[in-house]
Structure 1
């Protein structure tokens, strides 16, 4: 479970202080699906980076299962991200010279997983996203939707407890977006994941069981009456 208390993040820009997050209090229970929406510059990606230990707050605490992530050393943060958190990004972030299989395997390298097990787990992860037959293809040989499926497999192969997704459908057409969202929702339900996603897409936000809106760094929460619809 995540518990954020008084999380504030400020940046310095041209002799002035710019607040990205202001006194954010938020609890995310194990197994939650939370969508974060709001205007550009409202703090959405900043909040996701805080949850993923990719940035630290200026003040406040970010507890994951009782441990303040913001106070961990860089080495412990790196280990936390490698073991427990899966990341999915809008731009896929695949290595262009590696096959789908090899891209997925890269997520296991920091964990010291042996080569044979890496291959087996990567194959299983690709099959779980419907790409078992495309394991040997380079990213340039895959469609945008297929590349995002590889990225999702790369996040899943670590068997994380949390998936953090930043605009995962932002580069996809409407039909592919719906396919990817159906895949993500299915994986969330089947695996009992905690799933936090940033999106600008209102049609996706309306589906979420929980919706957080960030405006000028301040958060408001509501339960969606049409969750899952």
Structure 2
């Protein structure tokens, strides 16, 4: 699925050079569930952006099914993201003037899916995350947890191979955090996704089969015995 070799990302901060990623080597197999943890500024979100083709490395290669995302044209990269990768973020990124169903449908527009089929698939996706009765609600009419469920439905409606989540519970309280993590883990199993999540929450990290810790742009990997036994 993913093969990262020597991935480096450098930024300039005034006269200073910052190494957000410092030669990352990482393999993620199809169907893996990996959590990325580490201190603020350690490179977690930067690594996730590389996996999603949202940013390019300064050096190194990011292979997804043998295709190097680092060398693709912007047009081809957009196509790969639209077809193969679903994203869930801490801020739900819903369009406030669109209903839950319409927000989910937006993920299918770039794929050329016809209107009737978009509506059907969006309704099914919302049903799968427990929001079958909220299709016509605007984001302002939904709780934070419900808005994140809409965002998850939007990520999954296009049937991606990969689901990338960047602090998906960061804006939620503890009880809602557990609900959303349970939902994501259930969908990972149901759909056979490759699932990578960035989190600062150790309780979430302990649940994952694999844990990557990033500090100062360098990665350490370990296998977990998940607390839930999955």
Q: What TM-score comes out, normalization by structure 2 length?
A: 0.99
Distance 2:216 2:190 in 1: 35
Q: Provide the rounded CA distance (Å) in 2 between the counterparts of 1:69 and 1:213.
A: 23
Q: Secondary structure at the match of 1:49?
A: helix
Aligned residues: 229
1:141 maps to 141
Equivalent in the alignment of 1:39: 39
Aligned to 1:127: 127
Alignment of 1:87-106 (within 5 A): 87-106=87-106
Residue by residue over 1:139-170, the C-alpha shift from the partner in whole angstroms, topping out at 9 and shown as x without a partner, is 00000000000000000000000000000000
User: In the TM superposition, what whole-angstrom CA distance separates every residue of 1:111-161 from its partner, at most 9, and x where no partner exists?
Assistant: 111000000000000000000100000000000000000000000000000
* Counterpart residue number, 1:84: 84
Q: What is the CA distance between 1:64 and its match in structure 2?
A: 0.5
Deviation of the 1:227 alpha carbon: 5.0
1 CA distance for matches of 2:226 and 2:24?
Answer: 25
Gaps of 5+ in 1: none
What is the rounded CA distance, in whole Å, between the counterparts of 1:145 and 1:102 in structure 2? 18
Q: Please name the residue that 2:117 is paired with.
A: 117
1:203-222 superposed Cα distances (whole Å, 9 cap, x missing partner): 00000100000000000000
- Show the counterpart of 1:61: 61
- 8 Å contact from structure 1 (residues 209, 227) kept in 2: no
Give the corresponding residue for 1:169. Answer: 169
1:94 CA displacement = 0.2
Distance in 1 between residues matched to 2:215 and 2:6, nearest whole Å: 16
Aligned-partner SS, 2:108: helix
CA distance in 2, matches of 1:12, 1:177: 35
Give CA deviations for 1:41-72 in whole Å, capped at 9, x if unaligned.
00000000000000000000000011101000
Residues 209 and 228 of structure 1 are in contact (CA less than 8 Å); yes or no, is this contact kept in structure 2?
no
TM-score, structure 1 as length reference: 0.99
Q: 2:200 & 2:60 partners in 1: Cα distance?
A: 26
Native 8 Å contact 1:101 1:136 kept in 2:
yes
Secondary structure of 2:197's counterpart equals strand
Distance 1:226 1:53 in 2: 29
Q: Which residue of 1 aligns with 2:25?
A: 25
1:228: how far off?
3.4
Distance 1:5 1:110, change over 3 A: same
What's 1:2 paired with?
2
Quote the Cα distance in structure 2 between the aligned partners of 1:198 and 1:187: 17
